[in-house]
Chains A and B, each alone.
Chain A
Amino acid sequence: MSERRIRVLVAKPGLDGHDRGAKTVASVLRDHGMEVVYTGLHKTPAMIAEIAMQEDVDVVGLSILSGAHMELFPRVRKELVERGLDHVLMVGGGIIPGDDMQVLEEDGFAKLFGPGTNTDSIAEYIQTEISKRWAAEEAQA
């Protein structure tokens, strides 16, 4: 029998084409044993939520360097909730000022990672959070 693996969607919302961070994080998460779906560039919030649903992911990670995070991140969140995916762990990264991080974290984002974040720590964070959730699910079942 197969074991359960963490499925992560790494997504690039908006028009910005800087994918160095997204691809690096995707590769690192793969190296930590996760199954990572990468969306490619230039996705709308609705597209990202639709992909998250079709791919049945446990985590959605958004990467943005265009400054449009305060517009796009909450919209992705809203689209996910509309599809009944509020249980999905939402994380994000990019050039995001501290104040904005705080606002987003109050708005349903589990955690935001700024420039210079150690990528292993992102993987560890996801592993810890998801195992908590799975343990809770099992306890319920």
Chain B
Amino acid sequence: MTETKPISIPEGRQAWEAALEGGKLRDSEFTSLSGSTLEVVYGPEDAPGDPAKDLGWPGQFPFTRGVHPSMYRGRLWTMRQFAGFGTARETNERFKFLLDHGQTGLSVAFDFPTLMGRDGDDEMCRGEVGQVGVAISSLADMEQLFDGIPMNEVSTSMTINGPAPILLAFYIACAERRGLDPAVLQGTVQNDILKEYQAQHAWLVPPEPALRMITDVMEYCSEHVPKWNTISISGYHIREAGSTAAQELAFTLANGLEYVRRGIERGMDVDSFAPRLSFFFDSHLDFFEEIAKFRAARRIWARKMREEFGAKDPRSWKLRFHTQTAGVSLTAQQPENNIVRTAYEAMAAVLGGTQSLHTNSMDETLSLPTEKAVKIALRTQQIIAEETEVVHVADPLGGSYYVEALTDKMERDAQAYFDEIERRGGVVPSIDSGYFQKEIHDSALSYQRAVENGSKKVVGVNCYSEGEESLEIELHRIRPEVEAEAFKGLASLRADRNATRATAALDEIRTACNSKANLLQAFITAAHADCTLGEISQVLRDEFGDYIEPKIL
């Protein structure tokens, strides 16, 4: 027997390139979902990094390979399905349904009036109460939402931003009314206002006062609610608004770094609040690009926190994140296909090392999800966790030439954006000039054009479509009485409360706005006095002014 001598890698490459030459290729642009050009194959020269410096091991700086040494062997990710609709009572029932089916954390979706800091009986809110989430206008509503749910045991995520400090105040006050010490509360409030101006557009006041309130939350919680994640710095909405993966990564981290700067400027020790910052990313359909994005996010954050901000606590270096599968990737056409899309996206999030995950339901492009659709979405996660066996190995794609090359590229692209933002005077001036908004819009438009000219394919939309199809899935509709019930609830709340105490609490907020007092503290007092969300928000609007978006078109 003679041993076959392998040809060297460079020689092999030459031979391979020659073989490639003249070969027939399919008609495709061979680009990533974000539009970057991809090679036919990746090799060692495409990922020239230093493994000791750039990768390490799971649980080690710079955490490219994950934040825990054992990853999912220690603990699976939290399966956290976002839910909320109609009244607090109805959402409470859905929460109990989800907990009964094995969900391990709660995630509250609020309706637009709540997200915009308005009460359900506000004239601006006709037709919107309870539509896309639950309407929570007061402490009383919050009590009903968590009725029969042990607040000291579940972890709760609240997706709200502009009025986030007020809703957090309702939650803390709710626990206090039950006799619980807020120190036991676990959960997350999104509280990420910067991306609201950039992408999602549910703001309450202009950026500077909003940042002040967020810093107040970081300060208050580091002392009184130490297990609470004070900001969930979110790329999800940036991506859903149309950004590329690199823009999602870069803008989100830039926002995160801005919050850290604000905390430090307030005089806080970076390690006193940074461990409570968490992140929230989108998981889209380009499997490897997404995994690279998650890995790059951890590495960039660790380096910035340690090297730029001098954080010493390793917990400050670790980027922990929640993931939601991409709502924008779902189609109204042939909605059952969405189950498949979501499964791939969920798998990418798991292989990317997420700490918690929401999987979208197949019917979400049509309306709020039905119970059946929600259950399938949750089962998708359970199948990954229990049947695929991918969970046993940490960072299974680490060392893949392709994934490492993409991870490096993500980091470079993000740095280029950081430099550009810096050149524009920082995050807030870049918001004021519409820079982020324009970048996102341009990406959204070029993707839309790619779909319409057929260079990007969407099954059921621009290929394999079945013409006019009648929808065969059942839709979830909001009861028409929800609005009237909100009116009634608010009317009786205002009638029954101690009016003097409520007015005094609102005055206290007004005073706090114009001093250095902690606003979260003032909101908690107002929550106990049964002041409503709309009343508190109005004081803030009066004192801080409205925000008007810049023109970008």
Partner-A contacts on B (CB < 8 A): 112-113, 115-116, 118, 124-128, 131-132, 196, 200-202, 240-242, 331-333, 365-368, 441, 444-445, 448, 452, 458, 461-462, 470-471, 475, 478, 548-549, 552-553
In the complex, whether A98 has a CB less than 8 A from a CB of chain B is yes
Min CB–CB distance A39 → chain B (angstroms):
11
Which secondary structure dominates where chain A touches chain B?
Answer: loop
CB pair B125–A119 under 8 Å, yes or no, is no
Contact for A15 among B116, B367, B461, CB less than 8 A: B116
Contact for B132 among A26, A67, A72, CB less than 8 A: A67
The stretch among A53-61, A110-118, A131-139 that forms the contact with chain B is A110-118
Min CB–CB distance A47 → chain B (angstroms):
11
A75 to B366, CA, bound (A): 22
Of listed B116, B441, B471, B553, residue having the most chain A CB within 10 A: B553
Q: Which residues of A contact B365 (CB under 8 A)?
A: 95, 115-116
Q: Which residues of B contact A19 (CB under 8 A)?
A: 201, 241
Which secondary structure dominates where chain B touches chain A?
Answer: loop
A18 to B132, CA, bound (A): 13
A-B interface pairs (CB < 8 A), number: 99
A97 to B34, CA, bound (A): 30
Contacts A15-B115, A41-B549, A71-B128: A120 and B475 contacting too (C-beta < 8 A)? Answer: no
In the complex, whether A40 has a CB less than 8 A from a CB of chain B is yes
Min CB–CB distance B82 → chain A (angstroms):
15
Contact for B331 among A17, A27, A71, A115, CB less than 8 A: A115
CB pair A24–B461 under 8 Å, yes or no, is no
A110 to B332, CA, bound (A): 21
In order of increasing CB-CB distance, the 6 nearest A-B pairs are A71-B127, A17-B201, A67-B131, A68-B127, A15-B112, A115-B332
Q: Which residues of B contact A20 (CB under 8 A)?
A: 240-242, 441, 444
In the complex, whether A102 has a CB less than 8 A from a CB of chain B is no
CB pair B471–A66 under 8 Å, yes or no, is no
Contact for B332 among A27, A70, A116, CB less than 8 A: A116
Q: Which residues of A contact B470 (CB under 8 A)?
A: 98
Given pairs A71-B128, A115-B366, A116-B461, 15 additional interface contacts (CB within 8 A): A14-B128, A15-B124, A15-B125, A15-B128, A19-B241, A23-B445, A24-B441, A44-B124, A67-B478, A68-B126, A95-B365, A98-B470, A98-B471, A116-B331, A116-B332
Min CB–CB distance B346 → chain A (angstroms):
21
A24 to B387, CA, bound (A): 41
> B-facing mask of A1-39, CB < 8 A → 1, else 0?
000000000000011111110011011100000000010
CB pair B131–A114 under 8 Å, yes or no, is no
A-B contact pairs, 17 of them (CB 8 A): A15-B118, A17-B200, A20-B240, A24-B242, A24-B441, A27-B553, A66-B112, A67-B368, A68-B131, A70-B127, A71-B127, A97-B366, A97-B471, A98-B470, A98-B471, A114-B332, A115-B332
Q: Which residues of A contact B116 (CB under 8 A)?
A: 15, 42
Min CB–CB distance A74 → chain B (angstroms):
10
CB pair B200–A24 under 8 Å, yes or no, is no
CB pair B553–A38 under 8 Å, yes or no, is yes
A26 to chain B: closest residue by CB = B553
A72 to B124, CA, bound (A): 11
Q: Which residues of A contact B126 (CB under 8 A)?
A: 68, 71-72, 75
Contact for B127 among A14, A17, A97, A118, CB less than 8 A: A14
CB pair B444–A23 under 8 Å, yes or no, is yes
Q: Which residues of B contact A17 (CB under 8 A)?
A: 196, 200-202
Contacts A68-B131, A70-B127, A95-B367: A15 and B471 contacting too (C-beta < 8 A)? Answer: no
CB pair A27–B128 under 8 Å, yes or no, is no
Min CB–CB distance B126 → chain A (angstroms):
6
> B-facing mask of A104-127, CB < 8 A → 1, else 0?
000000000011101110000000
Q: Which residues of A contact B471 (CB under 8 A)?
A: 97-98
Min CB–CB distance B479 → chain A (angstroms):
12
Min CB–CB distance B470 → chain A (angstroms):
8
CB pair B113–A15 under 8 Å, yes or no, is yes
Contact for A97 among B202, B444, B475, CB less than 8 A: B475
A118 to B450, CA, bound (A): 11
Q: Which residues of A contact B441 (CB under 8 A)?
A: 20, 23-24, 27
CB pair A72–B127 under 8 Å, yes or no, is yes
A97 to B474, CA, bound (A): 11
A27 to B131, CA, bound (A): 29
Contacts A71-B127, A115-B332, A116-B331: A14 and B112 contacting too (C-beta < 8 A)? Answer: yes
